[in-house]
Amino acid sequence: MAIVIVTGVSGAGKSRAVNALEDIGFYCVDNMPPALIPKFAELCLQTNGKIQNVAIVTDVRGGTLFNSLFSDLEKLRKQGGDYKILFLDADDAVLMRRFKETRRMHPLSKPGGSIQEALSTERKILRPARERADYIIDTSNLSPAQLKQRLSVLFLGDKKTGLVVNCMSFGFKYGPATEGDLVFDVRCFPNPFYVDALKHLTGLDAAVKDFVFSSDATCKFLVKLFDMIDFLLPQYVEEGKSQLIVAIGCTGGKHRSVAIAEALYRHLLEKGVRAAVNHRDIQKN
């Protein structure tokens, strides 16, 4: 039985993550005190295989009960529970906007206190969980569909294959890819944006891809990129890393970065690597 412990910052999308996990076959429970996790897992194991995948959300809403998270997870491990920790995060500015839009209070808000103060307190409490997480997903720029796609790749594949590589394109004009483990700036290569016939297309279109890879410099970069990623992946697997985010950035996140991220994604699939591709800013103006 696969057990996913879902935690993270309030407003980062844990509810959306649970909905996505339910859609791909997980039995989900929200806001469970950590002390109940080992007992709940034991009950699930007694269903004779009827419950195969479980996702449990636990976070600061549990108050002081949340403080025992890792001691309770150690009990779970000792009784044979195989679990992974999924941590949801987002930029403070995005979180504050979400709270204002939904008009919901932060669970750690105090009378007269600000959301920023509550977030700061929450991040301190959650720091150990973030540091020990198997998967960290920053939802600042992810749509619900993109989040579901990320979760599907992480939890629907063969668990024995280990590392999952997410190839992400982005535009520097919309902010850096803070979640990227490896970040590559491809703004130095010829830009299709300045070709009238290509300006309103994207790196998913054949004409743009042809333009991007007509450059010798871009093609040489791609060869070197493939070679470096091929070299690094076994090292990350040996280290026990569960996911690797390779972020490719150009100016607007529509042309060069998209084409190169797609090329890397196809290369990884050909190598038999579990991979996903995500174009953060392709729909932005």
**Residuewise pLDDT in 10s, the chain (285 residues):** 889 999 999 999 999 999 989 988 899 999 999 999 999 999 988 888 788 899 999 999 999 999 999 999 999 999 888 899 999 999 999 999 999 888 888 999 888 888 899 999 999 999 999 999 999 999 998 888 888 888 888 887 544 446 789 999 999 999 999 889 999 999 999 999 999 999 999 999 999 999 999 999 999 999 999 999 999 999 988 776 778 999 999 999 999 999 999 999 999 999 989 888 999 999 887
Q: What are phi and psi of 194, to 5 degrees?
A: -90, 10
| Pairwise CA distance, residues 15 & 6, whole Å | 10
The residues, ordered by sequence, that sit 6+ positions from 234 with a Cβ below 8 Å of its Cβ are none
Find the DSSP H helices in 27-171. 37-45, 69-78, 92-102, 115-131, 144-156
